[in-house]
Structure 1
Amino acid sequence: MQYGAMQLLSMWLKERKIQNQSEHTLEAYFRDVSGFIDFCYEKKIELNQVEASDLREYMAYKVEQHQLNSASLQRHLTAIRQFMKWAVEGKYLSNNPIHDFKLKRQPRPLPGMVDVETIQQILDQPAPESSQDHLLWLRDKAILELLYSSGLRLAEVQGLNIRDIDFTRQLLRITGKGNKTRVVPFGLKAKTSLIEWLKVHRIWCGDIELDSPVFMTKKGSRLTNRQIENRVKLQAQRAGVNVDLHPHLLRHCFASHLLSNSGDLRAVQEMLGHSNLSTTQIYTQLDFDRLAQVYDKAHPRAQKS
């Protein structure tokens, strides 16, 4: 049976959806692969006739017409390569000449870091004197503590429900990317902050159910991602630190500080919810920089003559 390229793409995306891929990811796959299919159609190239040179020409076209950076090109390539691999494995195509096509990877920039002392200055700042601002601070502090204590993504802390918290064992059940679930610990200070915030939660919203969102507005609705981002920035400003603080930066700091003190890359990978260790290894570069500085100062053969 013969299938058209777009029909194959539709079949592939349906399988991906069954595998719990997010709508955002599926939309990106569709854009990336359909763009290549359209390019082949204009060139009058069937999928079973595609060669590595065609993909190279397409990538050059994307750079020229759309000014895509290396990361965006790599995303395009990954989607196209996975689609073609699926088509061959399903015997819809006879071969995949682009399975080993690679782009030269650009070095990934290190995320901006904030030192431990600055993080502590933000988390340990005095509560506001205003009673209303004091209640908001108790909520914000619980958010900040969880972001830094457990390395959560913004969407993960925003989607947290009461049933996801095990106060006895100090564990969180987190639903991350691709609906993958992981269990991560949280610290004593985060526990204390959560307990104090939930007292306010009851005042604002009444009885707390297992399915209740952890972080709520005074009107009883779940905080949005944007609201959380704004509150994180506000508390950094209130602490008087010159840092553009955002939730993902706290996640970076969590990973860097934990790895620096433990050296356990696998544990950090599990807590961050990274499927590939290579994603976590970016944080090892920070330690290498520190080690290089120590070496330059201490080793007798490192000194310039």
Structure 2
Amino acid sequence: MTPAATQWLERFIEQLQIEKRSSPHTVTSYRHDLLKLTAYCEEHNIQDWQDIQPALIRGYIAARHRQGMGSKSLQRELSSIRGFFKFLLKLQVASINPAQAIRAPKQDRKLPKLLDVDQVSGLLDANTVSALEIRDQAMFELFYSCGLRLSELTDLNINDLDLSDRTLIVRSGKGNKTRVLPIGSKAVKSVNSWLMLRPQYNAGDETALFISNRGKRISTRNVHQRLQNWCQTKGVAEHVHPHMLRHSFASHLLESSQDLRAVQELLGHANISTTQIYTHLNFQHLADVYDQTHPRAKKRTE
């Protein structure tokens, strides 16, 4: 790059430091990203910022991706480049922002971990030895029976359940959306067992369905800890967190029903694309079964 081009880069960095009062970390990141772009431009005989076209930025991002850069890092680099060219456009040093329409490659979506049906049964059918364990079992049964989010479970009040009708209402779902969910028979039985013991912990007028030993609404952190303790004391080898029960609910229901729309409604997903992640989980399960059982799929060992 020409000395004048380098000078514009330094002026931009100065603006970040002085006018924008950006943090040292932000300034360092911008400098690092733009120096990488500068080196790429020099490799391609580009001497001035005005000469950079969208095709070059697209090629640069593709090259960085091939070098192993992740989607989030590439998004950050593009943000740095857009910010720099916005600065150049304002000063009429450039006529276009070549990075404006460029998008980083999508990050591979990690499939959520879940339990198979036997693992869920082993977790939920464990014997209880105290009133608080009866409460815990009721919580975990509701998680799996209704596919609740953790906050939805802790926000439940007693009057949100109609156990005779075997339904509950989620009033504080994501996006403040309300939905009515069916409750399975085993969850109904577990909740009834807890409700018989709940008065001995409710010293005041607490309306929460699940309360702590202090008589207050149980916290999400407490639920997480109780599930960890449950797994340890009941000999469950898997590292289970509350959302795994929601994932397991969705995957098992979809595997049995093949009704993506129904699962979407039960989970409270605004977009069906969010629910479609579970179709990938089911395909992976089928692929594993195929690899393990099909006589022509197994690798032969000589």
TM range (shorter): 0.5 to 0.7
Q: Do structure 1's residue 227 and structure 2's residue 228 form an aligned pair? A: no
Look up the match of 1:265: 260
Specify the alignment match of 2:183 in structure 1: 186
Q: Which residue of 2 aligns with 1:151?
A: 147
Q: How does 1:91-240 map to 2 (within 5 A)?
A: 102-128=103-129, 134-174=130-170, 175-205=172-202, 212-240=207-235
Structure 1 residue runs of 5 or longer lacking an equivalent are 1-34, 40-51, 78-96, 129-133
AA matched with 1:240: G
**Offset, 1:253:** 0.9
Q: Secondary structure, in 3 states, of the residue corresponding to 2:193?
A: helix
> 1:278 is matched with which residue: 260, 273, 279?
273
Q: Which amino acid aligns with 2:208?
A: P
- Indicate how the Cα distance of structure 1 residues 197 and 71 shifts in structure 2: closer, same or farther if over 3 A, else same: farther
1:98-120 Cα shifts (integer Å, max 9, x gaps): 99654321221111121111111
Given that 1:160 and 1:214 are in contact with CA atoms closer than 8 Å, whether structure 2 keeps it comes out as yes
What residue identity is the alignment partner of 1:70? S
Distance 1:282 1:73, change over 3 A: farther
Q: Is this contact kept in 2: 1:202–1:208, CA < 8 A?
A: no
Question: Against the structure 1 CA distance between its residues 229 and 298, is the aligned structure 2 distance closer, same or farther, given a 3 Å change threshold?
Answer: closer
Q: Take 1:284 and 1:261, find their aligned partners in 2: how far apart are those partners? A: 12
**3-state SS in 2 of match to 1:173:** strand
- Structure 1 segment 39-58 matched on structure 2, within 5 A: none
- After TM superposition, give the deviation of residue 74 of structure 1 in Å: 7.3
Q: Aligned with 2:232: secondary structure?
A: helix
Cα separation, 2, equivalents of 1:268 and 1:232 = 25
| Matched-pair contact (CA < 8 Å) for 2:154–2:219 | yes
- Partner SS state of residue 168, structure 1: coil
Checking the alignment, whether the CA contact within 8 Å between 2:154 and 2:218 is kept in structure 1 is yes
Q: Secondary structure at the match of 1:205?
A: coil
How do residues 245-256 of structure 1 correspond to structure 2 at under 5 angstroms?
245-256=240-251
C-alpha deviation, 1:259, in angstroms: 1.1
Correspondence list, 1:30-41, <5 A: none
Q: For residue 213 of structure 1, give the secondary structure of its aligned residue in structure 2.
A: coil
| Cα distance change on mapping 1:98 and 1:146 into 2, 3 Å | farther
Do the aligned partners of 1:216 and 1:223 also contact (CA within 8 Å) in 2? yes
Provide the rounded CA distance (Å) in 1 between the counterparts of 2:147 and 2:123. 16
In the TM superposition, what whole-angstrom CA distance separates every residue of 1:212-249 from its partner, at most 9, and x where no partner exists? 01111122111111101000111111121111111111
CA contact 2:203–2:215 (8 Å) conserved in 1: no
Contact 1:145 1:190 (C-alpha < 8 Å) held by counterparts: yes
Residue matched to 2:82 = none
1:183 alignment partner, SS class: strand
RMSD: 4.0
How many residues align structurally? Answer: 230
Are 2:251 and 2:278, in contact at CA under 8 Å, matched by a contact in 1? yes
Name stretches of at least 5 consecutive residues in structure 2 with no aligned partner: 1-25, 31-52, 79-97
Q: Is the 8 A contact 1:152 1:251 kept in 2?
A: yes
CA distance in 2, matches of 1:149, 1:176: 16
Deviations, residues 126-146 of structure 1 (Å, cap 9, x unaligned): 122xxxxx1011110011001
TM-score, with structure 1 as normaliser: 0.63
Q: Name the TM-score, length of structure 2 as normaliser.
A: 0.64
Rounded to whole Å, the distance in 2 between the matches of 1:299 and 1:261 is: 22
- Provide, for residues 74-98 of structure 1, a one-character-per-residue CA deviation record: whole Å limited to 9, x for no partner: 79x9xxxxxxxxxxxxxxxxxxx99
Higher relative contact order (CA 8 A, sep 6+): 1
What amino acid is the match of 2:228? K
Residues in 2 aligned to 1:283 and 1:273: alpha-carbon distance in whole angstroms: 14
Q: Secondary structure at the match of 1:292?
A: helix
* Structure showing greater Rg: 2
**Deviation at residue 293 of structure 1 after TM alignment:** 4.6
Identity of aligned residues (%): 46
